[in-house]
Amino acid sequence: MGYKPNPLVTANMAAMRSGRRHITVEAILAYFYDYANGTPYTLPSLKGARGRAAELGFALEAFPYNDPDVTPRRLLSILRNRNIQGILIGESQIPIPHIEFEWEDFALVSIGYTLQSPRVDRIGFDHAEKLSQLFQDLSIRNYKRVGLAMSSDLDNRVSHSPTASYLSYQFEQHSSDKIPLFLERDRWNKAAFLEWFHRNNPDCVVTVGNDAMNWLIDEGIRCPEDVGLFSIWAIEGEPPQNHSDFNVSLELLAKTAIEELADRLNSNTRGIPLRRLSILLSSDRVYRHSLRPVAANE
Amino acid sequence: MGYKPNPLVTANMAAMRSGRRHITVEAILAYFYDYANGTPYTLPSLKGARGRAAELGFALEAFPYNDPDVTPRRLLSILRNRNIQGILIGESQIPIPHIEFEWEDFALVSIGYTLQSPRVDRIGFDHAEKLSQLFQDLSIRNYKRVGLAMSSDLDNRVSHSPTASYLSYQFEQHSSDKIPLFLERDRWNKAAFLEWFHRNNPDCVVTVGNDAMNWLIDEGIRCPEDVGLFSIWAIEGEPPQNHSDFNVSLELLAKTAIEELADRLNSNTRGIPLRRLSILLSSDRVYRHSLRPVAANE
């Protein structure tokens, strides 16, 4: 085919063909992470990426991209000495404005939406699609007054897709009595949330994380008996709850990221792309016990 | 590596290695299109796909997926006889609810967002990202009253990303005097548009296609002197205009789709995926002469 064959693949296939089936040329991929976060080996994305890499015949090793004692030039030389040809840039909770490195010779993929520069291909979840389906589904469950309550920082992190989807849903409702968004930064607290809740009387709250549910439980308000609740995703480190959510896992994103990286190695696609691809994975909605069921005759 | 090697690639490499460099095993890919549309050979996506396929060593042949004289079973046998292993499902202007076919053995990719079933990986443009950047940019150009005017059918076709982005932008403006959306189906006509325009007095109109600009010109309203105008994308078949837009081309989408299909063939990924990927391509914004420039001191 028109592809330039990848030398590692070719070497491995040659070894296979010559009958030395147990001699494999092990290819190493790099996992780039923020030095400030300390050890990356507990990160779910590294775990998921390592597992899938191993299945595809790669070893994955973690390197901090901003170790103060290692210049970008030194890091490049380390990667070259190890014959590393692919880099997975791990996820970050906060925006990364820029990573200084010579990217040209490497196949590249990043996890999530927080890396701003370089503009490499990135893997994320298809929040916009799932949110739009969610609001349709809440209508089918006969919720009439759905409110959105979340911290504005979390909305920022996913390119405002929760607010955009909610406002679009609200627009389609053609209701004259619209519930205002509770999208707060400094006022993301129990008192302000409950004030918003009691003033607007939603029959279902869409949120992120556990705060809203905990605040409702503290007030003796029950889900789904008194109000429906859907938490778009769980916040890392919070204990798992019994509310409905999207099944989004960084492990799954990382597996897909490794597959994409392997594809780029196979097709010898290197460096920062002319046009970045955003590769969005469908997630499942998981209904636990915080929404009422779909009525049989509706 | 852990990939099962693709037999076509292997055969080709073996032919190369044995010195018969001019004997290539030509792999054929199928382009699926709607029989009702007639000949597909004028479609920009087929043109783009053919070119990129040829560069990668593939021939691309067009097959209607719903020829009334060819059952899905017969079509399957035709594809098998030709040893076709990959299918690109072309774009459609209207939603395709379902295509009946046995997909299991084929590498699959579709162009655009209109195919509802099967849920195969799809290639589209990253409208949401570009729209959010557009509204930021209009603020930098000091537009204070941006309106959105478009046919609701076109908004549906791109999963409501224009209305969702606009409502999100409007929400962030915190203005008490919000311009209502002009999102119309039957009322998408000059009289209704001009009534909305004169009542709301926008200083910039974001739209799709050429209608809005033509209606403004007919009234002697000039862009950008009297009002700014940004047409998100051109409607196929309309003459090119001098207004600013996103540089979206089906040819470019089709090229990316062929690259993705080649990757799937190389990694022997076949059939309908467990979780669909939406692969979104960044587009460029093109500023022609329908917006005022960014002021030097603002």
Separation of first and last alpha carbons in chain B: 55
Sign of CA dihedral A150, A152, A156, A161: positive
**A58 and A201 belong to one structural domain:** no
pLDDT of res. B25: 52
Q: Report whether pLDDT(B3) > 50.
A: no
The residue whose two tokens read 């190493």 is A28
Specify whether the CB–CB gap between A173 and B143 falls below 8 A: no
A160 touches B at CB < 8 Å: yes
The Cβ-side half-sphere exposure at A87, using a 13 Å CA radius, reads: 27
Q: What share of chain B is helix, strand, coil (3-state, %, to 5)?
A: 35, 20, 45
Question: What's the sign of the alpha-carbon dihedral A167, A171, A174, A180?
Answer: positive
Neighboring chain A residues of B163 at a CB cutoff of 8 Å: 168, 171
pLDDT of residue A296: 59
Residues of A in contact with B266 (CB under 8 A): 3, 263, 266-267
Is the same domain home to B219 and B272?
Answer: no
Q: Do the chains contact at B262 and A5, CB–CB below 8 Å?
A: no
Question: What average pLDDT does the segment B257-267 reach?
Answer: 94
First-to-last C-alpha distance (Å) of chain A = 55
What pLDDT does B95 receive?
85
Domain annotation covers residue B298: no
Q: Give the distance from residue B26's alpha carbon to the nearest chain A alpha carbon, in angstroms.
A: 8
DSSP class of residue B37 equals G
- Same-domain status, A213 and A135: yes
Q: Which of the four pLDDT bands, split at 50, 70 and 90, describes residue B237?
A: confident
Contact A267 B262 (CB under 8 A): yes
**CATH of residue A172:** 3.40.50.2300
Residues of B in contact with A283 (CB under 8 A): 275
- Do A28 and A112 belong together in one domain? yes
DSSP B96: B
| Total domains, chain A | 2
Q: Are residues A156 and A112 in the same domain?
A: no
Q: pLDDT value at position B297?
A: 52
Q: What is the pLDDT of residues B26-73, one digit of tens each?
A: 699 999 999 998 888 888 899 999 999 999 999 999 999 999 999 999
Q: Between B159, B163, B252, which is nearest A128 by CB?
A: B159
Cα A206 from Cα A143, distance rounded (Å): 11
Q: pLDDT digit of tens for each residue in chain A (298 aa)? A: 344 445 445 444 444 444 444 445 569 999 999 999 888 988 889 999 999 999 999 999 999 999 999 999 999 999 999 999 999 999 887 889 999 999 999 999 999 888 999 999 999 998 888 898 999 999 999 999 999 999 998 888 787 889 999 999 999 888 888 999 999 999 999 999 999 999 999 999 999 999 999 999 999 999 999 999 999 988 877 887 778 888 788 899 999 999 999 999 998 999 999 999 999 998 887 877 889 888 755 4
Backbone angles phi and psi of B242, in degrees to 5: -95, 15
Q: Which residue has the higher pLDDT, B125 or A284?
A: B125
When pLDDT is averaged across residues B123-130 and rounded to a whole number, the result is 89
pLDDT given for residue A7 in this prediction? 44
Q: What is the mean pLDDT of residues B98-104?
A: 97
On whether both B180 and B155 belong to a single domain, the answer is yes
| Higher-pLDDT residue of B75, B248 | B75
* pLDDT class of B260 with cuts at 50, 70, 90: very high
**One domain, residues A152 and A58:** no
Q: Are residues A263 and A120 in the same domain?
A: yes
Task: Measure in Å the smallest separation between the Cα of A51 and chain B Cα atoms.
Answer: 12
Q: Residue B9 above 60 pLDDT?
A: no
Residue A1 placed within a domain: no
Dihedral angle at the C-alpha atoms of B215, B219, B224, B229, nearest 10 degrees? Answer: -20
CB contact under 8 A, A160 and B181: no
CB-based contact, B118 to chain A, within 8 Å: no
B263 contact A CB<8A = yes
Q: Within a domain: residue A2? A: no
Domain assignment of residue B213, yes or no = yes
Helix B161-173 to helix A161-173 angle (10° resolution) is 100
Q: Are residues B235 and B91 in the same domain?
A: no
Matching residue, tokens 């030097």 = B296
pLDDT in tens, B185-204: 999 999 999 999 999 999 99
Q: ipTM more than 0.85?
A: no
Contact yes or no for A256 and B266 at CB 8 A? no
Answer yes or no: is A26 within a domain: yes
Q: Say if the Cβ atoms of A128 and B128 lie within 8 Å.
A: yes
A294 is a domain residue: no
Residue A93 has φ and ψ, to the nearest 5°, of -75, -30
Instruction: Specify if A296 maps to a domain.
Output: no
Q: In this predicted model, what pLDDT tens digit does every residue of A131-168 receive, in sequence order?
A: 989 999 999 999 999 999 999 988 887 878 899 999 99
Q: Tell me, what's the pLDDT at A95?
A: 85
Query: Do B164 and A159 make contact, defined as CB atoms within 8 angstroms?
Result: no
Residues B72 and B116 in one domain: yes
CB–CB of B200/B143 below 8 Å?
A: no
Average pLDDT over residues B200-216: 95
Residues 6+ apart with CB under 8 A from B94: B114
Domain that holds residue B46: 7-125+250-283
State the alpha helices, DSSP H only, in B112-266.
127-140, 152-157, 161-173, 190-200, 211-218, 250-266
Q: Indicate whether B256 and B193 sit together in one domain.
A: no
* Closest CB to B277 among A5, A275, A281: A281
Whether A212 maps to a domain, the answer reads yes
- Judgement on whether residues B226 and B266 belong to the same structural domain of the protein: no
Q: B-chain residues within 8 Å CB-CB of A3?
A: 9, 56-57, 262, 266
